[in-house]
Amino acid sequence: MQYAAYKPEVASNGFAVIENIYSEDERLQIINVIEGTDTSGDTFRKSENLFAIRQFVKEIPQALPLIFNEKLRQVISQVFGEDYFIVKSIYFDKPGGSNWFVAYHQDLTVSVDKKTDVDGYGPWTVKQNQFAVQPPLHILENIFTLRLHLDDTDINNGALKVVPGSHAKGIYRPETIDWQTETEAICNVPAGGLMIMKPLLLHSSGRTTNNNNRRVIHIEFSNHPLATPLQWAEKMIY
C-alpha cells in the first residue's frame, strides 16, 4: 500500500484521513482488549459523559501489537519516517448520550517526567500526577498525532472540526480566527480508519446528537529530544 501520497496533504492542511487501516476483526480485537482491562487505576477517568485512559500504551501494553499492524507501520514510515517514537497516548470513549463539546484550540503541551525550570518551557500543569508543559515551538511543530477510530465518526457524534492550514501559523489563539479568510473542515472517519493530525492544527469537537459512541485511540509521536534534564514521560518504541 502506498501511503506516501498523504505526506503533502498533511504538510499543507495539517491533517489527513485514511480509511481501512484495521479490518473488522482487528477492530473488535482492540475493543475486547480495552474492555477487558481493570479500570480502577489513577490514569482511568470515568464519568457519565466520558471514559478516558491516560498513558494508554503503558496501561494496556497488550493492545500494542494489535494497534501497530503492518498498515499503520507503513503509514508512519512512508509519511513521517522510521525514527519516531511514542510520546503520549490517550483513549477516549465519548458515550452516545454525551453532551459535552470542546471549543477550538491547539494541543500546546507535552507530557514530561518532572517539573523543573528550563528556558523556553512553560507554563506548567499537572493532571492525575502527570506533569505537562508547553515546549518551544519547534518541538510542537515536529510532533504528529494519530487518531485511531474504533467507531464510525461524523458530525453527529463528535467528529473533529478543523481549520485547514492553521498548523503552519504558530501559536494561533482561537479568539483571533478570522472566518472571512479561514475555512472549516469536518473530519468524518469510518470505523477502522485513521486521522493524522498536527497538534498545532486548530480543532474542536461538538456534542453527540445521534446516540452513537465515539471511541478513539490518540497517540502522539516525535523524534526530538527535550531540553536536558527533561524527558518524555511516555517515551516508548513501538
- On the question of pLDDT at 85 being above 50, the answer is yes
Proportion of the chain above pLDDT 70, given as a percent: 93
**211-220 residue pLDDT tens:** 888 999 999 9
Give the pLDDT confidence score for residue 49 in this predicted structure: 46
212's CB contacts (< 8 A; 6+ apart) are: 96, 151, 152, 156, 157
Q: Which residue in this structure is represented by grid cell 518541538?
A: 139
What is the spatial order of strands in the sheet that 110-112 belongs to?
A: 110-112, 130-133, 124-127
Contact assessment for residue 194 and residue 148, using Cβ atoms and an 8 Å cutoff: yes
Give the pLDDT confidence score for residue 90 in this predicted structure: 94
Largest CA distance in the chain: 49
Cβ neighbours, 10 Å, residue 33? 17
pTM metric for this prediction: 0.93
CATH of domain 4-222: 2.60.120.620
E strand or H helix at 44, and its extent?
Answer: strand 44-46
